[in-house]
Chains A and B, each alone.
Chain A
């Protein structure tokens, strides 16, 4: 091989640069989302795992049921908590910080739900 003494160190440098980020971050899983739970509320409208998996579907179902099919605007959770079937009047009354609750996971998962294009987050500065 010609230019062995140039090519081999070059390759070594290249590989080192390429794997540097992996080595540098080893043992560190990065920022884990940690949505802040409301302190006062006793229970959520559905079990936590259901909410994690399908809160978006629940919101869409509430919308259709309330405005199109005359579903009730209020309901009662399994443990007896009465709640409004509404993002602003329901969810956000307990989860009163979009930044500390919604954004935690949405940012982590890199999803940009368009709820807030119209809906108003609690205590948004006016």
Chain B
């Protein structure tokens, strides 16, 4: 009798555990699977190059002609200044605290998966202008526990709601491009004369950020919504160094350039489907 009861209890316990645990584990797996592939069964990045068509109405992207940046001195600096002034991005003057929305990277750091063996000198000296890639399959969005980082349903821009950001920096770990910066200190710190220490000038029409939040390039969504082009693209003037447009529109200039020119993306093999393209 006693043994039977022990057996019965063991069995009952086991089946209860199985009954409770199995479906939820199963669901988790199922959900993980669904969000990881997101209706792009062939989209493992590498083979697909430029990425599958986006599910959002628009998908904005930029083609960056690095040759122009190499030949026109100071052009990259002009873009960076335009962006950082308009968006009140602080300059802390040291690498550790650095906040960057757009910056210049070396060829070997921007494209580490390319072979660097006996590369010609020209490539090593290229200033590669980089910023958030506004990935069509953004790992930062999946990593964010608060939905402070999200993909806009209409224009596909990867945006941030700084009110929601808790500063956990998961998104920074998830982004393969280093496109996100954390505010280690208060960007609007003032010196003894009441001047901003890290902002040369303030744009009163745009907010700043506070200590403890992450920030990055917004693809100038506030300008796009008003019918303007991104500030960095505008700063290149008529040099043709940057071409901004809707990748979903087959007739846009950017789509035409992508069809006609050989371009590369940063780290396509990680499957993020970047919306920035480079002419080297």
Enumerate chain B residues within 8 angstroms of A123, measured Cβ to Cβ: 204
Enumerate chain B residues within 8 angstroms of A122, measured Cβ to Cβ: 204
Partner of B205, one of A63, A69, A88, A126: A88
Bound complex: CA of A122 vs CA of B155, how far in Å? 31
Interface set, chain A 75-126, CB cutoff 8 A to B: 88-89, 114, 117-120, 122-126
Enumerate chain A residues within 8 angstroms of B202, measured Cβ to Cβ: 120, 124, 126
Enumerate chain A residues within 8 angstroms of B152, measured Cβ to Cβ: 67-68, 70
Number of A-B contacts (CB under 8 A): 47
- B119 contacts partner chain A, Cβ-Cβ < 8 Å: no
**Beta-carbon contact of A88 and B153 below 8 Å:** no
Bound complex: CA of A114 vs CA of B209, how far in Å? 11
- B194 contacts partner chain A, Cβ-Cβ < 8 Å: yes
Nearest CB of chain A from residue B64's CB, rounded to whole Å: 26
Enumerate chain A residues within 8 angstroms of B208, measured Cβ to Cβ: 118-120
Find the B residue at minimum CB distance from A73. Answer: B225
- B111 contacts partner chain A, Cβ-Cβ < 8 Å: no
**Beta-carbon contact of B194 and A125 below 8 Å:** yes
**Beta-carbon contact of B153 and A63 below 8 Å:** no
Bound complex: CA of A122 vs CA of B207, how far in Å? 11
Find the A residue at minimum CB distance from B57. Answer: A70
**Beta-carbon contact of B209 and A118 below 8 Å:** yes
Bound complex: CA of A125 vs CA of B205, how far in Å? 15
**Beta-carbon contact of B161 and A63 below 8 Å:** yes
Bound complex: CA of A73 vs CA of B150, how far in Å? 19
**Beta-carbon contact of B154 and A70 below 8 Å:** yes
Bound complex: CA of A73 vs CA of B224, how far in Å? 11
Nearest CB of chain B from residue A116's CB, rounded to whole Å: 9
Chain B contact-residue range equals 20 to 34
- B163 contacts partner chain A, Cβ-Cβ < 8 Å: yes
Nearest CB of chain B from residue A87's CB, rounded to whole Å: 8
**Beta-carbon contact of B161 and A67 below 8 Å:** yes
Bound complex: CA of A10 vs CA of B68, how far in Å? 90
Most chain A Cβ neighbours within 10 Å, of B204, B209, B210:
B204
- B159 contacts partner chain A, Cβ-Cβ < 8 Å: yes
Enumerate chain A residues within 8 angstroms of B194, measured Cβ to Cβ: 125
Nearest CB of chain B from residue A62's CB, rounded to whole Å: 12
- B201 contacts partner chain A, Cβ-Cβ < 8 Å: yes
Bound complex: CA of A68 vs CA of B204, how far in Å? 23
Nearest CB of chain A from residue B271's CB, rounded to whole Å: 25
**Beta-carbon contact of B207 and A126 below 8 Å:** no
- B198 contacts partner chain A, Cβ-Cβ < 8 Å: no
**Beta-carbon contact of A88 and B207 below 8 Å:** yes
Bound complex: CA of A36 vs CA of B207, how far in Å? 24
Enumerate chain B residues within 8 angstroms of A70, measured Cβ to Cβ: 152-155
Bound complex: CA of A125 vs CA of B209, how far in Å? 17
**Beta-carbon contact of A117 and B210 below 8 Å:** yes
Partner of A118, one of B155, B162, B196, B201: B162
Bound complex: CA of A125 vs CA of B195, how far in Å? 8
Bound complex: CA of A67 vs CA of B201, how far in Å? 26
- Given A88-B207, A120-B202, A125-B194, does the pair A67, B159 have CB atoms closer than 8 Å? yes
Q: Please name 10 further chain A to chain B contacts, defined as beta carbons within 8 Å, in addition to the given A67-B152, A124-B202, sorted by A numbering.
A: A67-B159, A68-B153, A73-B225, A73-B226, A88-B204, A89-B205, A118-B210, A122-B204, A123-B204, A126-B201
16 contacts between A and B (CB under 8 A): A67-B159, A68-B152, A69-B153, A70-B152, A73-B222, A73-B225, A73-B226, A88-B204, A88-B205, A89-B205, A118-B207, A120-B202, A120-B206, A122-B204, A124-B204, A126-B196
Chain B residues near A (Cβ < 8 Å): 88, 150, 152-155, 159, 161-163, 194-196, 201-202, 204-210, 221-222, 225-226
Q: Which 8 A-B pairs have the closest CB atoms?
A: A117-B210, A70-B154, A118-B207, A119-B207, A118-B210, A126-B202, A118-B208, A73-B225
